[in-house]
């Protein structure tokens, strides 16, 4: 069953097309990810699906009575509305029933016997409706979601007094409590720590709602979605799998396009040589019409083949950290570090030894003191107690969570020259490696996006020949492409790296050791994020009693997993049927088309659809096998 269907959607602003004939369908119960570079139109597409923004052309169709929830902007509440009241507004219908029950209770003692009988019957009917619609589990639902998103302590706070991050978490909880048919989540992991992100993952895996997610969190997408839709040049390209599948499949498709282009180029060269020969022979012979006609046929084929364009390749940062001076073996040593802010003891007994070329990530809940520890290492603030040793040849480069510059009115070129006495040509060359090309160097710093700020700061750090990078949430504000660029730059760095991050994909790719800051102390895990999770789950498991009550919980989980599998299987079967119908239509059209360019496009689409059907069939076979295992 389809929750929402978009057909040939276009959207333009000021004559420029943001969406260009886009079509997609969201199946009941499916989880899909929407990716694309910043500014590609993802949020615009969400606003169209939510009915907030109109299309320029095309149609949007909804299943009858479908309920859609989208966190678009901060709603307006009265000044005294608390976060708890905001959440309870999710149960509008239940609140009305509850109020009717209370009103009847107040009237009972005023009614005659006959009126009282009617009132009691009405009260019973309302009470039954209230119970059937989950009225008596409202408090439990609110507590469960508030605990997961860590907003229990905000219940009595006025919503207007909350920070931006706190408001976002409250509104995310409000959306989840509404239990809509379709959830539109735009960067839902922003403002969440790792524990809350993992809770949200578990919740979304369990929910029966369809979920469409815009996210730059690649690990999150891997855990949740079974389909990736990439928005590029105003059109959607679909991939029948999670983000890791998308990476491999996208690479394969781009390579196929490049192979087709190379074959066309080779054929063009051969045809040009043939056309030249035919013209030469035609000029030699008196009866040259046949040779000239052949030359023209070759030139006509060349015109058609030249329409095959070279596939665009994503630009990459070319960071050069080759001049990084080597530090000594000991980069940083901290012993018994303590730090308090008033009565709040943030760091109570920190011991840390960091060696040359180590890649280490620092984890911990929001507000636990991670940035404070970084500022102590960078010697911006003094600890209350303890000893700090920084190696004598260590040169620190600190990338803060919110990248700021002294004079934001300067251009990139002038800001760089103010930092380092080099020529303009050298600056242009350095900035080009970080994808600031041509006129980009004259951009004012205040005009830069979050990702551009990070890239510019990295260019400054590179030229400063630092050998120890302190990175505080370096992937904040970055789209997926920029994150991959940053990963490559850090991987090429020859020095030592200590970073704070909630980006589990980045952690798995770069870290060799995890440090967790909890209750003011560091716990070490010598491995990547998967190893850290394993250790944490073992500790958590050892704290739980192995009583008889465990078995029914396991059976319940199996039943839930079986339901999810069956829903996925149904969605895949519907998608296969839809794609097979599209394939038949393509094959019919190909018999009617004579234009080479149109035929080539149809052939490419045919290949893509066939690949998608093959992928879905493989997924279907795998899920059917999983279903049999669970049934046994």
- Of 125, 159, 178, the last residue of a domain is 178
| 41 assigned to some structural domain | yes
pLDDT in the model for residue 315:
67
Residues 466 and 593 grouped into a single domain = no
Residues 110 and 217 grouped into a single domain? no
8 A C-beta contact, residue 434 and residue 316: no
Do 301 and 199 share a structural domain? no
Same domain, 115 and 207: no
Look at residue 28 and tell me whether its pLDDT is greater than 80. yes
C-beta of residue 501 within 8 angstroms of C-beta of residue 476: no
**Residue 600, in any domain of the structure:** yes
Distance, CA of 558 to CA of 456 (rounded, Å): 50
390-406 mean pLDDT = 88
Give the domain CATH number at 604. 1.10.287
Asked if residue 320 belongs to a domain, the reply is: no
Rounded Cα gap, residues 42 and 33, in angstroms: 11
pLDDT given at position 551: 31
CATH of residue 205's domain is: 3.40.50.300
Question: In sequence order, which residues have a C-beta less than 8 Å from that of residue 117 and are 6 or more positions away?
Answer: none
Q: Are strands 344-355 and 330-341 parallel, antiparallel or unpaired?
A: antiparallel
Q: What is the mean pLDDT of residues 272-285?
A: 83
Confidence bin at 556 (pLDDT 50/70/90):
very low
How much of the chain exceeds pLDDT 90, in percent? 38
Strands 210-214 and 182-186: parallel
Q: Is the pLDDT of residue 528 over 90?
A: no
C-beta atoms surrounding 104 within 10 Å: 16
Please report how the helices 113-132 and 92-107 are oriented relative to each other, as an axis angle in degrees rounded to 10: 160
In this predicted model, what pLDDT tens digit does every residue of 300-331 receive, in sequence order?
999 989 888 888 776 666 666 555 677 888 99
Rounded mean pLDDT, 436-456: 88
Compute CA distances 322 → 328, 349, 415, 454, 472, whole Å.
Answer: 17, 37, 23, 20, 23
Residue 145 resides in a domain = yes
Same domain, 598 and 538: no
Order of strands, edge to edge, in the sheet holding 16-27?
16-27, 2-13, 57-62
DSSP 55-114: -SEEEEEE-TT--EEE--SPPP--TT-BHHHHHHGGGHHHHHHHHHHHHHHHHGGGS-HH
pLDDT in tens, 165-177: 788 889 889 889 8
Is 441's pLDDT higher than 60? Answer: yes
Q: Which of 32-36, 142-146, 250-254, 616-620 has the highest mean pLDDT?
A: 32-36
Q: Are residues 523 and 603 in the same domain?
A: no
Domain coverage including residue 522: 330-542
Considering 542, 572, 603, which residue would you say is the last residue of a domain? 542
Place 546 in a pLDDT band, splitting at 50, 70 and 90: very low
Query: What one-character DSSP code corresponds to residue 464?
Result: T
Both 268 and 378 in one domain: the answer is no
Residue with the larger pLDDT of the pair 84 and 622? 84
Select from 195, 211, 241 the last residue of a domain. 241
Say what the pLDDT of residue 51 is: 92
3-state secondary structure of 542: helix
CB atoms within 10 A of CB 128: 10
Query: How many residues are there in the chain?
Result: 632
Q: What's the pLDDT score for residue 552?
A: 32
- Rounded-to-integer distance, Cα 169 and Cα 64, Å: 30
Question: What is the tens place of the pLDDT at every residue in 558-576?
Answer: 555 666 677 678 778 777 8
Q: What is the pLDDT of residue 500?
A: 95
User: Residue 37: what pLDDT?
Assistant: 84
Asked whether residue 423 is domain-assigned, the answer is yes
321 found inside a domain? no
What span, in angstroms and rounded, lies between the C-alpha atoms of 249 and 256?
Answer: 11
pLDDT reported for residue 351: 93
State the pLDDT at residue 543: 53
Residue 336: C-alpha distances to residues 341, 374, 387, 513, 599 (Å): 17, 15, 7, 21, 71
Name 499's bridge partners: 361, 471
The whole-number pLDDT of residue 73 equals 55
Both 91 and 171 in one domain: the answer is yes
The answer to whether the CB of 31 falls within 8 A of the CB of 226 is: yes
**Same-domain check for residues 346 and 431:** yes
How far, in Å, CA of 355 to CA of 359, rounded? 9
Instruction: Provide the pLDDT confidence category of residue 246 given band limits of 50, 70 and 90.
Output: very high
Residues 390 and 522 in one domain: yes
Cβ(390)–Cβ(466) below 8 Å: no
Question: pLDDT tens for residues 66-82?
Answer: 999 997 655 678 888 89
590 pLDDT band, cuts 50/70/90, is: confident
Tokens 């920070």 correspond to 163
Across the chain, what does the average pLDDT equal? 85
Higher-scoring residue by pLDDT: 135, 206: 206
**Separation of alpha carbons 456 and 415, rounded Å:** 10
Q: Which of 37-51, 88-102, 277-291 has the highest mean pLDDT?
A: 37-51
Q: Both 230 and 265 in a single domain?
A: no
Which neighbouring-strand residues pair with 497? 359, 469
Residue 325 lies in a domain: no
Specify the pLDDT at position 334.
95
pLDDT in tens, 463-496: 888 899 999 988 887 888 888 888 888 888 888 9
Please check the confidence at residue 387 and state whether its pLDDT lies above 70.
Answer: yes
Q: Tell me whether residue 324 is in a domain.
A: no
Looking at the structure, do residues 459 and 362 belong to the same domain, yes or no?
A: yes
How much is the pLDDT for 41?
92
The number of folded domains in the chain is 5
Collapsing DSSP states into helix, strand and coil, what is residue 297?
A: helix
Q: Do the beta carbons of residue 451 and residue 477 sit within 8 Å? A: yes
* pLDDT the model gives residue 107: 83
Spatial distance between the Cα atoms of 561 and 568, rounded to a whole number of angstroms = 11
C-alpha distances (whole Å) from 395 to each of 401, 422, 424 are 19, 20, 25
Q: Name residue 60's beta-bridge partners.
A: 6
């Amino acid at each position: 069953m389809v929750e929402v269907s978009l057909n040939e959607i276009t959207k333009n602003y000021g004559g420029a097309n943001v969406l260009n004939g886009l079509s997609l369908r969201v199946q009941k119960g499916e989880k899909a990810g929407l990716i694309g570079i910043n500014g590609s139109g993802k949020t615009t597409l969400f606003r169209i699906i939510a009915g907030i923004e109109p299309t320029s052309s095309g149609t949007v169709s909804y299943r009858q009575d479908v309920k859609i929830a989208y966190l678009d902007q901060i709603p307006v509440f009265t000044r005294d509305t608390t976060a708890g009241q905001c959440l309870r507004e999710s149960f509008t219908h239940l609140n009305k029933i509850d109020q009717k029950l209370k009103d009847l209770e107040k009237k009972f003692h005023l009614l005659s016997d006959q009126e009282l009988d009617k009132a009691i019957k009405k009260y019973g009917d309302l009470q039954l409706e209230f119970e059937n619609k989950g009225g008596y589990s409202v408090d439990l639902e609110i507590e469960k979601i508030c605990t997961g998103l860590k907003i229990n302590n905000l219940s009595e706070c006025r919503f207007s007094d909350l920070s931006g991050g706190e408001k976002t978490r409250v509104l995310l909880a409000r959306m989840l409590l509404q239990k809509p048919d379709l959830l539109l989540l735009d960067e839902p992991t922003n403002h969440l720590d790792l524990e809350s992100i993992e809770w949200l993952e578990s919740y979304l895996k369990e929910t029966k709602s369809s979920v469409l997610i815009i996210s730059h969190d690649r690990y999150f997408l891997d855990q949740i979605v079974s389909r990736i839709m990439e928005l590029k040049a105003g059109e959607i390209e679909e991939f029948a799998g999670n983000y890791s599948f998308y990476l491999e499949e996208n690479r394969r498709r781009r390579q196929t396009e490049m192979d087709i282009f190379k074959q066309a180029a080779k054929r063009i060269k051969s045809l040009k040589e043939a056309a030249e020969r035919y013209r030469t022979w035609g000029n030699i012979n008196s009866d040259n019409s046949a040779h000239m006609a052949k030359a023209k046929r070759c030139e006509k084929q060349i015109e058609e083949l030249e329409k095959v364009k070279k596939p665009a390749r994503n630009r990459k940062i070319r960071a050069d950290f080759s001049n990084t001076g080597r530090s000594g073996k000991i980069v940083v040593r901290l012993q018994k570090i303590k730090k308090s802010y008033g009565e709040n003891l943030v760091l109570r007994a920190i011991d840390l030894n960091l060696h040359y070329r180590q890649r280490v990530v620092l984890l911990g809940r929001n507000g636990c003191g991670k940035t404070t520890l970084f500022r102590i290492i960078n010697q911006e603030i003094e600890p209350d107690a303890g000893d700090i040793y920084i190696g004598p040849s260590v040169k620190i480069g600190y990338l803060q969570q919110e990248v700021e510059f002294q004079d934001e009115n300067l251009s990139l070129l002038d800001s760089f020259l103010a930092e380092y006495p080099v020529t303009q040509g050298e600056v242009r060359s350095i900035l080009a490696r970080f994808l600031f090309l041509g006129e980009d160097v004259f951009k004012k710093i205040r005009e830069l996006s979050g990702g551009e700020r990070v890239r510019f700061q990295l260019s400054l750090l590179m030229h400063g020949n630092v050998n120890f990078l302190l990175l505080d949430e370096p992937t904040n504000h970055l789209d997926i492409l920029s994150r991959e660029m940053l990963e490559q730059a850090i991987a090429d760095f020859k020095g030592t790296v200590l970073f704070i991050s909630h980006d589990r994909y980045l952690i798995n790719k770069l870290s060799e050791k995890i440090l967790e800051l909890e209750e003011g102390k560091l716990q070490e895990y010598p491995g990547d994020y998967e190893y850290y999770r394993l250790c944490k789950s073992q500790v958590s498991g050892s704290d739980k009693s192995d009583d008889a009550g465990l078995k029914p919980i396991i059976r319940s989980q199996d039943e839930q997993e079986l339901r999810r599998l069956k829903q996925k299987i149904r969605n895949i079967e519907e998608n296969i049927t839809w794609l097979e119908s599209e394939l038949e239509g393509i094959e019919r059209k190909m018999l009617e088309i004579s234009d080479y360019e149109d035929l080539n496009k149809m052939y490419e689409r045919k290949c893509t659809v066939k690949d998608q059907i093959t992928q879905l069939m493989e997924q279907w076979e795998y899920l059917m096998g999983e279903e049999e295992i669970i049934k046994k």
